[in-house]
Chains A and B, each alone.
Chain A
C-alpha cells in the first residue's frame, strides 16, 4: 500500500466525504467537477442561491434545499422552521418576494407522528410569518435505519422585480460589505444539544427569515449589487465565494464582525473560528459605497437587522482573496475552509 504521490486526489475523494456537504472547498469542488458539467445551462451559471428564470413574461426566482439537521429540535428553532426560512431566504437573496413553497418529506419507519405534527405546525407558523404558502408536497417512507427520522426538502418560487439583477457579477471594487447581525449562533446552538456540550452561556440559534430586510432595502431605494445569506461554512465562506465568483478582493476588519460572548466563548473552548460557524438568519449585503449609510439605517430599522454593521470593503487588489485586518493592525488571509471545521484537542 504505497502512498501514490502522482495521483493523490482520487485517493482521498473517490467517495463522498462529510466535507463534501460542509460548504467549504470540498463542496465547491464537487459542484464544479460533477454537478455543473452534468447540468450546465445559463440559469445555473448565475451561481446564486436561487436561479432567476422567465415564465410567461414574469421573472421568477426558483430554489430548492434539503434539511437534515440533527438534532431536529434545538435552542431557538427546529428542522421545520429551518426548512421554511432556508428556502425563503434563498429566494430573498435573489431579490424576490417569496410566494410559494413545496415540502417533500422523507420519513423513517418508526418516526413518531406526534413529532411530525410538531414539525408541520412549526412549518406552518414559519410560512405564515413569511407570507408564503406551502402549495404542494410529497411524502416517502424509508426502512428503519435508512433515514434520520425526517429529512425535509423545500423548493420555493417568488417574483423578482423588473430590472433587479443581483449576483456576484454585479459586485464592484469600492462597494461596502454589510452584515445583518452577529455570526456563529446556529452552529453553536446545534452543537450544544447534539454533542452534549454544556456552555456557560446558552446560545440560541439565529434561525429566522431575511425577506423583510431585503424588502426594507429595496423599498428604501437601495440598489444592492449582491445579497447572500450565511449558512453552512459561515460568514467566511460567503465572503470567499463572492470574492472568487466576482473576481474581486474583500478587506474586512475582524473587530467589526459581531460575535456574541457565548458564541465566542464556546468557539474558544472548542478551537473553532466563529467566522466559519453556521448562521441561519444572517445576510451579507454588497452595496455601492454611496448607499452604504442609508442601507445600514434601513437594516437597523427592523428587529432582525438591529445588529447590522459594516464589516468591510470590496477592493481590486488581490482578486479572489479575503483579507482580515486584525485587532492588532496586522493582516491575514480569511480562507475558504477545507473540509469540516474540527474541534481541537488541547
Chain B
C-alpha cells in the first residue's frame, strides 16, 4: 500500500492542519469541484479538521449527477429495445430517470452490461454483428479521450453496429457559471486533478484573473486535499488570485496532447443541459458530423421521451454549493440510496450519497 499510504500519512496531515490553522485570519469558502474530492473529504472527515469559518462547498463535479434526465430516459428507451446490447459504466445503472432506470430495464429482460472501458463495448459489437451495441459515453474531460478512441476503433474495424450515447460535460464552463453567478459565495477553488491531467491548466488562468479567485489544481487523497486547501487559503490571505498546481506529480500545464487530439477529432463543443442546473453555454461535447453514424441519438431516433424531475429534489442547489445535502427536506426520508429522487443520491461521487453514507448517527 506504499503509494496510497504516502498520501494518507496522519503525521503529515497533522502538520498541514497546523499550518492551515496558523494561516487563517478570517472565514473563507472554498469549493472543491470534483465529486471524487467531495467523497474523500466527507469520508476522511477533512472538513472537521479545518479551522472554524473555513467552509468547503461541494461543486458540480460529478458527471453522473449532471447527466440530464432526458438522456437517462433516452438510455432507458434504447436499452429496452429488442436486439440492443446497452453498455455502461456501473454507476449509471442506478441513476433514476423520470420513470425507470437501467437496472430495472435489465431486470425486465433488457441486455444491459457493465463495462470497464469503452473498448470492451467495441469488442462486444465486433463479437455480435447481428445486434446493435450502444455505449453510454458519460463523463468529464477525463473519460472523453477513451470514449472518442472507441469511436475511432469502431470505424477502423468497419463496425456498423456500434454507437455512443454522448453526455460529456466540460468543467471550465461550469466553473464560469458558478463564479459568475450573482449568488456566488465561493472565495477559492480546488480544481479537479484528473481533468487537468488531460486538459492542462491553461483554461483556468482567464477564470482566475476575471473572477479574482485562486484556483489550485488538486488531487484526491487526504494529504493532497489538505495541501490544496493550504495553498488556496494562503493565496486568499495574501490577496493573490492565481492558478497553482498541487498535483504536479501528474498534471502538466499543457495536459496530455495525444488525448486532447483524439477528443478534438471526434467531438466538438456545444451547449449542454446539466441536470438540476440548466443549460450552460458551450459546456458539453457532441459527436462531429463526420461521426454521425456512431451517434446513438440519430441511430435510434429517440425523441419525445423524458419526464419531469422529482419536484422535491434540490440537487441543482447542492451541485452549485448553495445547499448542504442534509438541508434538503427529502434527505434520508423520501430520498435514500434505495429510493433516490436525484442522481446526487446514487452516484458514487454524488454529494447527497456521500453525506448519506458517511455522516449520520449524530456525525454532523
Are A3 and B363 in contact (CB-based, < 8 A)?
no
B-facing mask of A241-261, CB < 8 A → 1, else 0? 000000000000000000101
Segment from B125-133, B139-147, B262-270, B291-299 that makes contact with A? B139-147
Question: Is B308's CB within 8 Å of the partner chain A?
Answer: yes
Q: Which residues of B contact A138 (CB under 8 A)?
A: none
Question: Is A339's CB within 8 Å of the partner chain B?
Answer: yes
Given contacts A8-B339, A321-B361, A332-B363, contact A342 B43 (CB under 8 A): no
Q: What's the least CB distance linking B290 to chain A, in Å?
A: 26
Question: Is B156's CB within 8 Å of the partner chain A?
Answer: no
Are B361 and A338 in contact (CB-based, < 8 A)?
no
A-facing mask of B346-362, CB < 8 A → 1, else 0? 00110000001111111
Q: Which residues of B contact A328 (CB under 8 A)?
A: 8, 10, 13, 44-46, 49, 222
A interface: dominant SS:
loop
Complex-state Cα separation, A125 to B339, whole angstroms: 45
Q: What's the least CB distance linking B292 to chain A, in Å?
A: 25
B-facing mask of A1-42, CB < 8 A → 1, else 0? 111010011011001111100000110010000000000000
Indicate which residue in A15, A195, A327, A333 contacts B363 across the interface (CB closer than 8 Å).
Answer: A333
Are A343 and B362 in contact (CB-based, < 8 A)?
no
Q: For chain B residues 116-140, which have a beta carbon within 8 Å of chain A?
A: 116, 120, 138-140
Q: What's the least CB distance linking A2 to chain B, in Å?
A: 7
CB-CB nearest in chain B for A272 = B348
CB-CB nearest in chain B for A330 = B45
Q: Which residues of B contact A321 (CB under 8 A)?
A: 360-361
Indicate which residue in B108, B116, B362 contacts A15 across the interface (CB closer than 8 Å).
Answer: B108
Q: Which residues of A contact B101 (CB under 8 A)?
A: 12
Are B104 and A18 in contact (CB-based, < 8 A)?
no
Q: For chain A residues 151-203, which have a beta carbon within 8 Å of chain B?
A: 195-197
Complex-state Cα separation, A64 to B338, whole angstroms: 28
Segment from A106-114, A204-212, A263-271, A291-299 that makes contact with B? A263-271
Q: Output the residue of A196, A333, A346 with the most chain B CB within 10 A.
A: A346
Q: Which residues of A contact B44 (CB under 8 A)?
A: 326-328, 330, 332
A-facing mask of B44-71, CB < 8 A → 1, else 0? 1110110000000000000110000000
Q: Which residues of B contact A264 (CB under 8 A)?
A: 1, 4
Q: What's the least CB distance linking A51 to chain B, in Å?
A: 28
Indicate which residue in B1, B46, B138 contacts A261 across the interface (CB closer than 8 Å).
Answer: B1
Question: Is B307's CB within 8 Å of the partner chain A?
Answer: yes
Question: Is A318's CB within 8 Å of the partner chain B?
Answer: yes
Q: Which residues of B contact A18 (CB under 8 A)?
A: 103, 106-107
Q: What's the least CB distance linking B65 to chain A, in Å?
A: 11
Indicate which residue in B46, B63, B310, B336 contacts A345 across the interface (CB closer than 8 Å).
Answer: B63
Given contacts A343-B90, A345-B138, A345-B139, contact A332 B42 (CB under 8 A): yes
CB-CB nearest in chain A for B220 = A268
Q: What's the least CB distance linking A16 to chain B, in Å?
A: 7
Q: What's the least CB distance linking B347 to chain A, in Å?
A: 8
Q: What's the least CB distance linking B85 to chain A, in Å?
A: 15
Question: Is B99's CB within 8 Å of the partner chain A?
Answer: yes
Q: Which residues of A contact B94 (CB under 8 A)?
A: 339, 342
Q: Which residues of B contact A327 (CB under 8 A)?
A: 8-10, 13, 44, 222
Complex-state Cα separation, A208 to B46, whole angstroms: 38
Q: Which residues of A contact B356 (CB under 8 A)?
A: 335
Q: What's the least CB distance linking A254 to chain B, in Å?
A: 9
CB-CB nearest in chain A for B307 = A1
Q: Which residues of B contact A16 (CB under 8 A)?
A: 107
Indicate which residue in A12, A29, A330 contacts B49 across the interface (CB closer than 8 Å).
Answer: A330
Q: Which residues of B contact A265 (CB under 8 A)?
A: 3-4
Question: Is A126's CB within 8 Å of the partner chain B?
Answer: no
Q: Which residues of B contact A3 (CB under 8 A)?
A: 98-99, 307-308, 310
Complex-state Cα separation, A265 to B4, whole angstroms: 8
CB-CB nearest in chain A for B13 = A328
A-facing mask of B1-38, CB < 8 A → 1, else 0? 11110001110010000000000000000000000100
Question: Is B312's CB within 8 Å of the partner chain A?
Answer: yes
B-facing mask of A297-335, CB < 8 A → 1, else 0? 000000000000000000000100101001111111101
Question: Is B194's CB within 8 Å of the partner chain A?
Answer: yes
Q: Output the residue of A2, A321, A345 with the most chain B CB within 10 A.
A: A345
Q: What's the least CB distance linking B72 to chain A, in Å?
A: 12
Complex-state Cα separation, A195 to B113, whole angstroms: 11
Q: Which residues of B contact A259 (CB under 8 A)?
A: 1
Question: Is B84's CB within 8 Å of the partner chain A?
Answer: no
Q: What's the least CB distance linking A317 to chain B, in Å?
A: 9
Q: What's the least CB distance linking A256 to chain B, in Å?
A: 13
Question: Is A344's CB within 8 Å of the partner chain B?
Answer: yes
Q: What's the least CB distance linking A276 to chain B, in Å?
A: 11
Q: What's the least CB distance linking B324 to chain A, in Å?
A: 16
Indicate which residue in B13, B194, B361 contacts A333 across the interface (CB closer than 8 Å).
Answer: B361
Are A332 and B93 in contact (CB-based, < 8 A)?
no
Q: Which residues of A contact B194 (CB under 8 A)?
A: 346
Q: Which residues of B contact A271 (CB under 8 A)?
A: 91, 348
A-facing mask of B202-228, CB < 8 A → 1, else 0? 000000000000000000001000000
Q: Which residues of B contact A19 (CB under 8 A)?
A: 103
Q: Which residues of A contact B334 (CB under 8 A)?
A: 5, 8
Q: For chain B residues 306-364, which have a beta carbon within 8 Å of chain A?
A: 307-308, 310-312, 334, 336-339, 341, 348-349, 356-363
Sample (28) of A-B pairs whose CB atoms are under 8 Å apart? A1-B99, A1-B307, A2-B307, A3-B99, A3-B310, A5-B312, A5-B341, A8-B341, A11-B99, A19-B103, A265-B3, A328-B8, A328-B13, A328-B45, A328-B49, A330-B44, A331-B363, A332-B44, A332-B358, A333-B363, A339-B338, A340-B90, A342-B94, A345-B64, A345-B139, A345-B143, A345-B349, A346-B142
Name 4 extra pairs, CB < 8 A, besides A12-B101, A323-B363, A326-B44.
A9-B339, A328-B45, A328-B49, A338-B336
Nearest 8 A/B pairs, CB to CB: A330-B45, A342-B90, A338-B337, A344-B348, A332-B358, A321-B361, A346-B142, A1-B99
Interface residues of B (CB under 8 A from A): 1-4, 8-10, 13, 36, 42-46, 48-49, 63-64, 89-94, 98-99, 101, 103-104, 106-108, 114, 116, 120, 138-140, 142-143, 194, 222, 307-308, 310-312, 334, 336-339, 341, 348-349, 356-363
